[in-house]
Structure 1
Amino acid sequence: MIKYFRPFIIIGLILLFAGNIWADDPQPNFITTEKPGKIIQDIRVSKDSFNPSKGEEWGIYYQLNSKAKVNISLYDPDQELVAVLINQKPQGKGKKSVLWDGKDIDGQIVPDEAYFFTIEAVDQKGNMEIYDPTIFSGGEEDDITQGSIDSENGTINYRLPEMGRVSIRLGISGGPLLRTLVDWKPRLTGEVTEYWNGKDQDNLFDLQSHPRFKMLITYFSLPENSIITYGNKKLGYFEYKTGQKNRPKKRDYPGIEIGEREISKHYAMPRLMDRSPRVVMTFPKSVRLEEDNLPVLKGKTIVHVELDKESKKYFQEMKFEIVFFLDGEFYAEEETGYSPYNWIWDTSQIKEGTYILTVNLASFKDQVGLLSKKVKIVR
């Protein structure tokens, strides 16, 4: 049921073990960089990011204290296998290294994203050690409370204390979310610059100058020694994942957790699901369309809201809180709505004129789709 004029604030809002080298699966010893094992120690990487499209490579370094059979596998943020860098290879004692050229198991350059690796080793006595950064790092969420907006250069600048996956949401305090500028994308440690024109997603609000403008920057940490790739202008992560067959997932270790950490609810979600769905809003009972497809509405009319074709594949069965705003002010909501949704809007309560109608579709897992459109009300 639609409810009217209640204050509402929306801002603030495994399987197969690839290359398993232990047939009898003895009890492993899980190691970290701070607590090295008896077999593996001194695990390092050459850098935090690289551009495979330009032929660059990235290195993993480690030391073996005894002869061992080694497996090094790379995984995407959904913990699915990307590449096997060393496959059950016997190695002698000493310092070791392996390079990755940024290509997956099919020889394709991976899309721009954050990836992580595991090292598994078993010595000649059958002792097993595993370096898996996901069991002791990654997923801790925090807000960035200090940042600056450079209007002249059209940038937002902030400092990230560690490698993380970032969300930047922009809107009106006590009103709608109007733009998801960064939608849980990986970023490097240090000073970060994002580009923004000062407006909402649909270029209808001069958002930066709004007296109740609000910006929320949130991130969660990436697993230790993650690598961020960049420079792939031909293929995005969404297209990459939807165009491939299912790959083996990293082995899970129930009950194994090193240290204490609070995990963000976004961390374990599939990347294809943890994003802002795209929204379509139409007016099937409009009186007419004026220039620039401006819908003219009169009396009781229908506002039809639904997810776009691509978003339906992933969000169709989700429940949403569907919230409508008029010129940035709360107007009505449906607390448990689905897509598609038809809102019966009695425009006779509103003075004649042109308005901006905004809809927010907020899932209960904190994904928010949004859209704003100009409408004209007549008698």
Structure 2
Amino acid sequence: MNRAVWLLTLSLLSSLAQGVEITRVSAEKRTFNPANQEKAVIHFNLDQAAQVTLNIYDGRDRLVKQIASGQLAAGDQQLQWDGRDLKGVLLPPEAYSYTLTAQSNGEEVTHDLTDLSGDEALAVKDVSWDRERGLVRYSLQKPARVSIRLGLKEGGPLLHTLVDWVPRNSGVQTEPWDGWDISRALNIGKHPKLNLAVTAYSLSDNTLLLGPGPSQIVFADLPADDIRKKTVTQRQTKRMYYHTDQPLESRGDFETTLKLATDAKRDKEGRWVVSGKVPIRLDVAKKDRARLLARRFEPVFFVDGTFAFENEVGFIPITWQWDSSTVNAGEHYITVNIRGYEGNFGTATLKVWVEHQ
């Protein structure tokens, strides 16, 4: 065998040993809306003929769709996804990630950017409140999951979670809001100390955004047994208030309730009429209780936006004895914040009318 033939043979054997390569992977558009007959188109290049599978995962890293190509020739190729799940049902608007797996000559390689990109804290720019149009505006440098919490400045309470870790594309974003707190007790959109806290973490580079932006995290309604989990890098520790350390399904805030734990009457404006010592009972929705109790948290109470009481040992339900004689007669607002170690919050506000006896 002459040297040229030997070198060519060695090169071919080396190429085969390395397996197929997937390069130049990109989505034609990051966002698509199946309601408008749009599809997600994934472009890629193969260095040799291979069978390719496009896998689609939801925010829990569970497989929701698998698209097999059959044998593809070397060169530029593409696969499409119509936004439907394994059973052909249209998936809810949300963020989904994709991977490509190629098989050739007994070798298999996967292109997956899920653990190599994303989860980067972003500086959200141009945050503003347009009271006339009822819109919160902000700008994102990259596609991200976003949280918007509204409260009062100077150590005041959180009063409303407007957007709770939902996916948004890059660029200028607007979120409708009528100005009211979560309990509809106080119009904080008119408050001079209104605080807009917008937090965002970037999505991975292999993310697709299906449909119009959702108002809350939504998952595919599929039996757990029919969904295969994807292997992802597991973080060894959880950092305080670092939201991406949490599984997406447990990242949201707690639905919180605040009630009087005593008989009281309401006035014509719907305010509870109270006097003296007032027992105020804090609880969370049944669906959130186990998640809350499994974590470290502190309930913090405010009166008219000013700190009043904090219980450093968190338990639910809890009753706080508020002495209404410490405030002037008239209208007052009692607010509670549940502050979770892992960044989850809960809030509720109770409007009362104090009468001194």
> Do the two structures share a fold, i.e. TM-score over 0.5?
yes
Q: Pick one of 150, 175, 178 that aligns with 1:194.
A: 175
TM-fit CA distance, 1:329: 1.1
Counterpart code for 1:158 = Y
Q: Equivalents in 2 of 1:263, 1:140: separation in Å? A: 16
1:280 aligned onto 2:260: no
1:267 corresponding residue in structure 2: 244
| Contact kept in structure 2, 1:52 and 1:102, CA below 8 Å | yes
Alignment partner of 1:135: what SS? coil
Q: Pick one of 351, 355, 378 that aligns with 2:332.
A: 355
Q: Deviations 1:69-108 (Å, cap 9, x if unpaired)?
A: 3222110111111111227x44321222111111111222
1:66 aligned onto 2:43: no
1:144 corresponding residue in structure 2: 124
More contact order relative to length (CA 8 Å, sep ≥ 6): 1
Alignment partner of 2:354: what SS? strand
Q: Pick one of 237, 242, 250 that aligns with 2:230.
A: 250
How has the CA–CA distance of structure 1 residues 239 and 194 changed in structure 2, closer, same or farther, with 3 Å as cutoff?
Answer: same
Gaps in structure 2 of 5+ consecutive residues: 1-16
How has the CA–CA distance of structure 1 residues 329 and 253 changed in structure 2, closer, same or farther, with 3 Å as cutoff?
Answer: closer
Q: Equivalents in 2 of 1:292, 1:210: separation in Å? A: 20
TM-score calculated relative to the size of structure 2: 0.85
Gaps in structure 1 of 5+ consecutive residues: 1-27, 30-36, 256-261
Q: Equivalents in 2 of 1:253, 1:377: separation in Å? A: 55
How has the CA–CA distance of structure 1 residues 177 and 161 changed in structure 2, closer, same or farther, with 3 Å as cutoff?
Answer: same
How has the CA–CA distance of structure 1 residues 318 and 86 changed in structure 2, closer, same or farther, with 3 Å as cutoff?
Answer: same
Aligned residues between the structures: 335
Q: Pick one of 254, 275, 295 that aligns with 1:298.
A: 275
| Contact kept in structure 1, 2:64 and 2:220, CA below 8 Å | no
Counterpart code for 1:350 = V
Q: Equivalents in 2 of 1:142, 1:66: separation in Å? A: 39
Q: Equivalents in 1 of 2:157, 2:313: separation in Å? A: 18
Q: Equivalents in 1 of 2:22, 2:219: separation in Å? A: 37
Q: Equivalents in 2 of 1:203, 1:374: separation in Å? A: 10
Q: Deviations 1:338-378 (Å, cap 9, x if unpaired)?
A: 22111122223333222111111111111111111201222
Counterpart code for 1:106 = K
Alignment partner of 1:339: what SS? coil
Counterpart code for 2:114 = T
Alignment partner of 1:272: what SS? helix
TM-score calculated relative to the size of structure 1: 0.80
Q: Pick one of 66, 69, 91 that aligns with 1:84.
A: 66
Q: Pick one of 165, 177, 192 that aligns with 2:145.
A: 165
TM-fit CA distance, 1:203: 3.6
Deviates more, 1:354-363 or 1:287-296: 287-296
| Contact kept in structure 2, 1:168 and 1:181, CA below 8 Å | yes
Counterpart code for 1:116 = S
Deviates more, 1:365-374 or 1:116-125: 116-125
Q: Equivalents in 2 of 1:69, 1:303: separation in Å? A: 64
1:307 aligned onto 2:284: yes
Deviates more, 1:322-331 or 1:66-75: 66-75
Q: Equivalents in 1 of 2:83, 2:98: separation in Å? A: 13
Identity of aligned residues (%): 30
Structure with bigger gyration radius = 2
Counterpart code for 1:138 = G
1:104 corresponding residue in structure 2: 85
Q: Pick one of 50, 53, 59 that aligns with 2:35.
A: 53
Q: Equivalents in 1 of 2:328, 2:256: separation in Å? A: 27
Q: Deviations 1:148-185 (Å, cap 9, x if unpaired)?
A: 33222222222210111111111111110111111111
Structure 1 residues 106-255: aligned runs within 5 Å: 106-124=87-105, 126=107, 128-173=108-153, 174-231=155-212, 237-238=217-218, 240=220, 244-246=223-225, 247-252=227-232
